[in-house]
Amino acid sequence: FAKAGYPDCEALLIIEVEGSEAEISEQLARIRQIAMAHDPVEFREAEDEDQARRIWLGRKSAFGAMGQINDYMCLDGTIPVSSLPHVLKRIGEMSVEFGLDVGNVFHAGDGNMHPLILFDANKPGDLEKCEAFGAEILKLCVEVGGCLTGEHGVGIEKRDLMAVQFEAADMEAQMRVKDVFDPKWLLNPAKVFPLATSAARRAG
């Protein structure tokens, strides 16, 4: 799709470093040492900005590439970095359980995951199955000490999962903050909080 230079790659970790020449050399040596200890298929080091851009091209084109395959739903649950291996393994297992492929794209450094779940919008039941799969991934993120969203917000999509991360008292405190700025609940009244939780406020 993007012709980034690694067509047969199943998993890719891009690491970018900065600092003085001495600091960069030291960091790169350490990265190379760790990488080689884990028997990588390939270790590639950019020699200039053009090579760096080409390496990044695959990551920056990932969403478009997945869209060429099928419809997809993008999540943004966030987890502790130490939980990444476990979560990726579990997502792979759930992919088999739900019968839906998933591509994992993420900011490894801050634990912000972007699982892209592929589904066929024209196939009855596929969207619902995709949503159920996504909900399980987000529950897993919370289970390992993460949260439902790192960038995209709760909105409607994650609204009914708020109780997975927050106790009733937590949501009450959050709704009281909204009460101050939007006492009549006119602004996005059906977003963020589960409908049953915010029913009385929305009713006026």
Tokens of 126: 């596929």
The residue out of 60, 81, 98 marking a domain boundary is: 60
Is there a domain that residue 152 lies in? no
**What's residue 45's pLDDT?**
92
**What's residue 167's pLDDT?**
96
Is there a domain that residue 35 lies in? yes
Residues 170, 136 share a domain: no
Residues 128, 78 share a domain: yes
Residues 42, 1 share a domain: yes
Residues 55, 85 share a domain: no
Q: What confidence tier does 5 reach under pLDDT thresholds 50, 70, 90?
A: confident
**What's residue 58's pLDDT?**
85
Whole-number Cα distances in Å, 2 to 53, 107, 168? 12, 20, 46
Average pLDDT, rounded, for the chain: 94
Is there a domain that residue 160 lies in? no
* pLDDT digit string, tens, across residues 8-50: 888 889 999 999 999 999 999 999 999 999 999 999 999 999 9
Write out the residue range of the structural domain in which residue 101 sits: 69-143
Is there a domain that residue 156 lies in? no
Residues 115, 179 share a domain: no
**What's residue 10's pLDDT?**
84
Pairing of strands 112-119, 102-107: antiparallel
* pLDDT digit string, tens, across residues 135-174: 999 999 999 999 999 999 999 999 999 999 999 999 999 9
Is there a domain that residue 148 lies in? no
Domain count, the chain: 3
Is there a domain that residue 197 lies in? yes
* pLDDT digit string, tens, across residues 81-138: 999 999 999 999 999 999 999 999 988 889 999 999 999 999 999 999 999 999 999 9
Structure-token match 């399980």, residue found: 136
Angle at 48 between CA 47 and CA 54, to 5 degrees: 95
- Which amino acid is residue 34, in one-letter code? I
Is there a domain that residue 119 lies in? yes
